[in-house]
Homo-oligomer: A and B are copies of this chain.
Amino acid sequence: MNKTEPRTLAGFMELMPNEQILFEQMKQKIEKTYQKFGFLPLDTPILELSEVLLAKAGGETEKQIYRFEKGSTDISMRFDLTVPLSKYVAKNYGNLSFPFRRYQIGKVYRGERTQKGRFREFYQCDIDIIGDGELSVINDAELPSVIYNVFKELGFDDFTICINNRKILNGLFESLEQKENAAEILRIIDKIEKIGKEAVIEELEKIEVSKKSIEAIMNFIEIDGTTDEKIEKLNNLNIENETFKLGLEELTQVVKYVRTFGIPDTNFKVDLTIARGLDYYTGTVYETFLNQYRELGSICSGGRYENLAEYYTDKKLPGVGISIGLTRLFYKLNELNLIKANKKSIADILIIPMIEDMTKPIQIANELRKKGINTEIYLNDKKLKAKFKYADKLEIPYVIVIGEDEINANVVKVRNMITGEEKEYSFKDISNIKI
């Protein structure tokens, strides 16, 4: 028979089992943390009507969409989890309780140019809090607490959640009469980390921002010190602009409550350069960095938006949310060997029978499984050495060999595969096993 080459599409992650175990653990830790804050699960279709999914999209996004016709239906694959959320909330507005706090962990699709570490199919892990008409700014302080708990849970200590407020930036530009240029200026100063101060000034000059305004902008961006010093300096700017004042007030509130939520000052800071490229955000914005690995870019970002679902409904639905791009994060962390696993195997124990009759091995497995111990029986006929090699390759931490001797002596020997230590149990005591 002619064989087809078993290929996987470029840009689609497919892991070996030992890596998949690590991936699943990361995913589960994120999910458990989201649940700890009471977020509700949501699962929306991967396919949507193009008309619905692309109500807002355009430009770059639209080019990347996987879009096709099935029968006479124009269908697209979702490219994020925010648009499906908007649709869902607009559609089910009358049946949802607000604030609607949901998490969604699922695959999204973008037909980007493939390159190392970029994926066309990837998991996003999102939470959003949606208010009906209004949403207290204290919610903006709770999300950093979720971010903090997620990354602590993933085994990280040295990370920084950077917080800013778009109203402060917007207000500054208004006060400088640069409101028209605001989006463009934001885009430019957002690059300061990448291209440096001089290049930013040059780009600002190119779009004809006055010397005086550039000076004010750079003074503003260069505000430094502790979080409290930054807030004090912002106050001392005495900028007479309502948007600026409101933003500063919100930021002050957020900082206060971020501390109340128990985030140490070593794990968050006010960073006035963060704008988040999108026009979408209107208040608090977040980015998160591993301090030893800044080159990974932000590993968890998000912010406050004014109106979630304006393309679908007249209801005003303000929200605040964050997103973790899990596939890329996993890929990078795995490459850097930074994933802290609780377990490296699914099975806790491998039972290796060296006899033909499987009755005893199965009975022992039954007992162990009842106890909640993940147990595998090696059921195929192989040499002892091959069976041990199997346990080794799967990194199963404990092995029980059952041969004639064990059957006759009515005992089970549990071998720790790392230390080589063995403990003996009688058959009837097997449920007292300690692993």
- When the two chains form the complex, which single residue of B21, B40, B46, B121 contacts A21, counting CB atoms closer than 8 Å? B40
Chain A 43-68: CB-based contact to B (< 8 A → 1; otherwise 0): 11111110110010000000000111
Q: Is the CB of B9 within 8 A of A45?
A: yes
Chain A positions 76-127 with a Cβ under 8 Å from a chain B Cβ: 86-88, 90-92, 95-97, 99, 101-102, 107, 109, 111, 121
- When the two chains form the complex, which single residue of B7, B16, B91, B257 contacts A49, counting CB atoms closer than 8 Å? B7
Chain B min CB distance to A182 (Å): 22
Residue numbers in B under 8 Å from A262 (CB-CB)? 366
Residue numbers in B under 8 Å from A135 (CB-CB)? 380
Q: Is the CB of B121 within 8 A of A47?
A: yes
Chain B min CB distance to A131 (Å): 7
Give A151 to B140 CA distance when docked, in angstroms. 42
Give A86 to B48 CA distance when docked, in angstroms. 29
Q: Is the CB of B70 within 8 A of A312?
A: no
Residue numbers in B under 8 Å from A3 (CB-CB)? 311-314
> Is A292 positioned at the interface, with any CB of B under 8 Å from its CB?
no
Q: A49-B9, A142-B377 are in contact. Are A17 and B41 (CB under 8 A)?
A: yes
- When the two chains form the complex, which single residue of B40, B41, B47, B260 contacts A9, counting CB atoms closer than 8 Å? B47
Q: Among the listed stretches A190-198, A216-224, A368-376, which one makes contact with chain B, having 4 or more residues with CB under 8 Å of it?
A: A368-376
Give A136 to B356 CA distance when docked, in angstroms. 11
Q: Is the CB of B4 within 8 A of A393?
A: no
Q: Is the CB of B55 within 8 A of A66?
A: no
Q: A23-B43, A358-B260, A380-B136 are in contact. Are A70 and B66 (CB under 8 A)?
A: yes
Chain A positions 347-374 with a Cβ under 8 Å from a chain B Cβ: 347, 350, 358-359, 362-363, 366, 369, 372-374
> Is A390 positioned at the interface, with any CB of B under 8 Å from its CB?
yes
Give A259 to B396 CA distance when docked, in angstroms. 27
Chain B min CB distance to A41 (Å): 5
| Closest B residue to A362 using CB positions | B260
Give A13 to B44 CA distance when docked, in angstroms. 8
Give A27 to B134 CA distance when docked, in angstroms. 35
Q: How large is the interface on A (under 10, 10 to 19, 20 to 34, 35 or more residues)?
A: 35 or more
Q: Is the CB of B87 within 8 A of A45?
A: no
Q: Is the CB of B369 within 8 A of A36?
A: yes
Chain B min CB distance to A122 (Å): 11
Chain B min CB distance to A355 (Å): 12
Chain A positions 246-266 with a Cβ under 8 Å from a chain B Cβ: 257, 260-262
Q: Is the CB of A362 within 8 A of B17?
A: no
Residue numbers in B under 8 Å from A139 (CB-CB)? 379
Chain B min CB distance to A354 (Å): 14
Q: A45-B8, A138-B358 are in contact. Are A379 and B99 (CB under 8 A)?
A: yes
Q: Is the CB of B48 within 8 A of A91?
A: no
Give A15 to B359 CA distance when docked, in angstroms. 44
> Is A14 positioned at the interface, with any CB of B under 8 Å from its CB?
yes
- When the two chains form the complex, which single residue of B88, B260, B379, B394 contacts A363, counting CB atoms closer than 8 Å? B260
Chain B min CB distance to A306 (Å): 14
Residue numbers in B under 8 Å from A96 (CB-CB)? 16-17
Q: List 8 A-B contacts (CB under 8 A).
A: A4-B55, A5-B312, A6-B90, A7-B49, A7-B87, A21-B40, A45-B121, A99-B380
Residues of A at under 8 Å CB distance from B? 1, 3-9, 12-17, 20-21, 23-24, 35-49, 51-52, 55, 66-71, 73, 75, 86-88, 90-92, 95-97, 99, 101-102, 107, 109, 111, 121, 131, 134-136, 138-139, 142, 149, 257, 260-262, 309-314, 346-347, 350, 358-359, 362-363, 366, 369, 372-377, 379-381, 390, 393-394, 396
A-B contact sample (5 more), CB < 8 A, given A6-B312, A14-B43:
A21-B40, A35-B374, A37-B374, A38-B375, A46-B46
